[in-house]
Amino acid sequence: MKYLIAGLGNIGAEYTETRHNIGFKVVDALAKAAGVAFETGRYGSVAELKYKGRTFILLKPSTYMNLSGKAVGYWLKTEKIPIENLFVVVDDIALPFGTLCIRGKGSDGGHNGLKNIAESLGHNNYARLRFGIGGDFPKGFQVDYVLGTWTKEEADALPERLDMAGEVIRSFATAGLERTMNAFNNK
């Protein structure tokens, strides 16, 4: 059984350590833990890993955040992955730093990456992991905040939260969405 795990972010060195790139960081950590490497593919970098009889196609779209749907749609079709096996990892300013929130469907919440995926798929009925990046910024400075880098405290706490996000992804594929939501939401 195949799963598409799409970590959203922006390509380019200037974005590597920004909050908006937490999706890339999560799939990078998952690939590193499994000892697999990303290769350049169409519309993104991809890595394949096996876990308990499942195949994960890890995707880091190269289309930039606002056009993530193009990469997600392409890899779903190319790998013949059903929509219920799509799991998108994205940053969320409405959640405190490090908080994980799993949903099976829902609105884009103003997130342009999720909005573009919904436009590409024609619906919002796909699972996503929202990774809290906090929202400690003055009104009107959201872009500067999400494209800003981690504080020292956040950077120090990040490895443990990335490990937890990896556990969520493995659980999604082995235990299913509902059990994963019950076990990990808001942890």
The 10s digit of each residue's pLDDT in 30-85 is: 999 999 999 999 999 999 999 999 999 999 999 989 999 999 999 999 999 999 99
DSSP 144: H
Residue 186 confidence (pLDDT) above 90: no
Give me the catalytic one of 20, 111, 128, 170.
20
d(Cα 117, Cα 131) in Å, to the nearest integer? 17
Structure tokens at 3: 């799963």
Is the pLDDT at 110 greater than 90? The verdict is no
Q: Which two tokens stand for residue 27?
A: 């799939």
Question: Are the C-beta atoms of residues 69 and 118 closer than 8 Å to each other?
Answer: yes
Residues 6 or more apart whose CB falls under 8 angstroms from that of 122 comprise none
Q: Are residues 121 and 88 in contact, defined by beta-carbon separation less than 8 angstroms?
A: no
10 Å Cβ neighbour count for 160?
10
Question: What is the SS3 assignment for 161?
Answer: helix
Encoded tokens for 59: 């995707």
Q: Are 9 and 60 in contact (CB under 8 A)?
A: yes
Told to judge if 123 belongs to the known catalytic residues of this protein, a careful annotator would answer: no
pLDDT digits (tens, 9 = 90+) for 142-152: 999 999 999 99
